[in-house]
């Protein structure tokens, strides 16, 4: 359905990585965007340069397309727009964590009620040259431009294998996994990984089988690209209250809340009916600023 559009956007992610992102790896001076007591948010020249590189090439055909770094005021006027995060895991990129950052994009379609849902999604890890994407028809997995396997997730329930972000580890999330594992009478382990692109790729590769993020600092572009891929593989992704992310492309002013206030949880291996009853928003760590 969106094969041509998806292939073209993936090629731009790869080119932007080669020309704008990787040459700046370990070379950037970060700029602080947001500084809270327990959370800092950075942007670098790699983010802004890659964003401009891609948007300059797609906005003629997809006006309103935008990134975290370059918003589009008219992005709510169009039925199909690309939403980008050219460098996901900026902190990992700054710290020199080679497989901790990635690039991703979601093709958002406007629904009858005015909300946006992803109909295609791409995740690309430049250092590994690994791509996962859904083009509206099927899921693709490539490494170095070569077709790679898609795991068989059926026989991966013996142990809870969860995720923590290496640069932002917290004991409370360990307790979430420990509680779920105890209720299911299974052992558990936690992999220390990078940002959303890295973590969702690990979920797709069956290296972890439960993705949980118990903070309210992610925004919708941290999940949009993964939703169609995971759902096409029979998985699910919701907040800690079990609500699906059905209102993406949120405004960033006082009239809207761009933060995913109730965390993220996802799995392909375990059904949500098995996991969600053990979660609630009291387990969240609050980090996002209150909007006026």
- For the segment 98-128, what is each residue's pLDDT rounded down to a tens digit? 999 999 999 999 999 899 999 999 999 999 9
Instruction: Determine whether 61 is exposed, middle or buried from the number of CB atoms within 10 Å of its CB (0-12, 13-18, 19+).
Output: exposed
210-219 pLDDT tens trace: 999 999 989 9
Predicted TM-score of the model (pTM): 0.95
Strand bridging mode 130-134 / 236-238: unpaired
Q: Given this structure, which CATH class describes domain 160-283?
A: alpha beta
Cβ 195 vs Cβ 165: under 8 Å: yes
Superfamily of domain 3-147: Fructose-1,6-Bisphosphatase, subunit A, domain 1 (3.30.540.10)
The residue extents of the domains of the chain are 3-147, 160-283
Encode 105-120: b = buried (16+ Cβ within 10 Å), e = exposed: bbbbbbeeeeebbbbb
Average pLDDT, the chain: 92
């Amino acid at each position: 359905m969106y094969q041509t559009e998806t292939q073209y956007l993936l090629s731009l992610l790869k080119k932007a990585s080669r020309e704008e992102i990787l040459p700046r790896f370990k070379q950037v001076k970060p700029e602080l965007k947001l500084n809270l007591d327990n959370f800092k948010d950075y942007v670098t020249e790699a983010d802004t340069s890659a964003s401009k590189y891609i948007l300059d090439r797609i906005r003629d055909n997809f006006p309103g397309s935008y990134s975290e770094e370059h918003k589009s005021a008219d992005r709510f006027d169009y039925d199909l727009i690309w939403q980008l995060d050219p460098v996901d895991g900026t902190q990992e990129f700054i710290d020199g964590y080679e497989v901790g950052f990635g690039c991703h994009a979601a093709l958002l379609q406007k629904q009858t009620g005015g909300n946006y849902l992803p109909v295609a999604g791409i995740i690309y890890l430049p250092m590994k040259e690994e791509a996962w994407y859904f083009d509206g028809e099927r899921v693709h997995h490539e490494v170095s431009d070569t077709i790679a396997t898609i795991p068989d997730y059926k026989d991966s329930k013996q142990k809870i294998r969860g995720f923590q972000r290496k640069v932002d580890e917290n004991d409370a999330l360990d307790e979430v996994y420990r509680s779920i594992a105890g209720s299911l009478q299974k052992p558990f382990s936690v992999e220390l990984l990078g940002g959303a692109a890295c973590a969702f790729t690990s979920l797709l590769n069956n290296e972890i089988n439960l993705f949980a993020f118990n903070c309210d600092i992610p925004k919708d572009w941290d999940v949009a690209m993964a939703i169609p891929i995971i759902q096409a593989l029979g998985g699910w992704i919701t907040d800690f209250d079990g609500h699906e992310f059905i209102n993406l492309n949120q405004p960033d002013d006082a009239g809207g809340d761009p933060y995913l206030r109730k965390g993220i949880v996802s799995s392909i291996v375990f059904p949500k009916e098995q996991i969600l009853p053990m979660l609630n928003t009291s387990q969240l760590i609050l980090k996002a600023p209150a909007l006026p």
